[in-house]
Amino acid sequence: MSYVEIPLVRLLGSAFLIVLAVAVSYRRKLDLEKDLAWGALRAAVQLVAIGYVLVLLFHTESQALVLVALAVMLTVASWTAARRVTHGPGWRVLMPRAALAIGVAFCVALIPVLAWIIPVRPMLEPRYAVPIGGMIMASGMNVVALTLERIMSTAHQRAIAIEQALALGASPDQAMQSTQRQALRAAMTPTINSLLTLGLVQLPGMMTGQILSGTSPLQAVRYQLVIMYQLVAVAALAGALAAWFAQRALFDRRGRLRRFAGAGTAVKSAEERRRERR
């Protein structure tokens, strides 16, 4: 055996780390004790459940089950990204757009890698497709969530300035150009920081896991580089698509800015209020 097993008793012993975090929260009056305890319990249940799912996938090697697993992951990722947005049209409107942004970027980053760079056969080999797919889908989810939230909240705050630009003849693209650029830069900053500090500040999870399981560090480095380049590509493409979808959701067919009070509630425009008075 090329790795050290963790018995259940010792695994339970690691819970003292959560107790430490809870104690800090209590001592500093952060009011995070329930969130920490619930998060630790939920993480344990979710990871144990996915562990059994992965055992099933690895045992059956079913391509159909892999596709089902990836579809479930995409659904959860898009829902999570869409529900974090305030001052927008609501998660029911944004979720399909988030799913398309994450899904397109996911396919672009995953398929060429499994087809050529890590040429596994069959291409959707569960041992490769599910873990790698999960990492890059999570990256896409975070970038899409940050992009949508930043654009929607900025549009809400700068609504008057945007409408003035439109009144002066600017197109929606021109009126939102700086907002989109700032949102994309902010959403991609964590990925770029991870890329710049890779190996200096952090040893990423996949590389660490491979080394602990007995893989040669040099091979683990190569896998991690491939993953990091995938994450960068997903961040750029998913963020760009999310920004485009957000802008389309913010403007109607006549190029007028839609306003949202929050939680998907639309605010009536000045023109609509004048019509009601008449």
Could you report the per-residue pLDDT of 250-263, keeping only the tens digit for each? 999 888 998 886 65
Residue 9 has pLDDT above 80, yes or no: yes
The reported pLDDT for the residue numbered 198 is: 83
Tell me if the bond preceding 122 is cis, omega within 30° of 0.
yes
The reported pLDDT for the residue numbered 270 is: 47
pTM, full prediction = 0.84
The span from the CA of 80 to the CA of 273, in Å, is 34
Residue 224 has pLDDT above 80, yes or no: yes
CB 264 within 8 A of CB 85: no
All structural domains of the chain with their residue ranges: 1-60, 63-277
The reported pLDDT for the residue numbered 144 is: 97
Token duo for residue 254:
């006549």
Q: According to the per-residue pLDDT averaged within each range, which of 120-129, 138-147, 202-211 is highest?
A: 138-147
Scored b (16 or more CB within 10 A) or e, 131-162 reads ebbebbbbbbbbbbbbbbbbbbbbbbebbeeb
The span from the CA of 275 to the CA of 68, in Å, is 50
pLDDT in tens, 40-94: 999 999 999 999 999 998 888 888 999 999 999 999 999 999 998 888 888 999 9
The reported pLDDT for the residue numbered 61 is: 83
The reported pLDDT for the residue numbered 31 is: 94
Q: Give the whole-number percent of the chain exceeding pLDDT 70.
A: 92
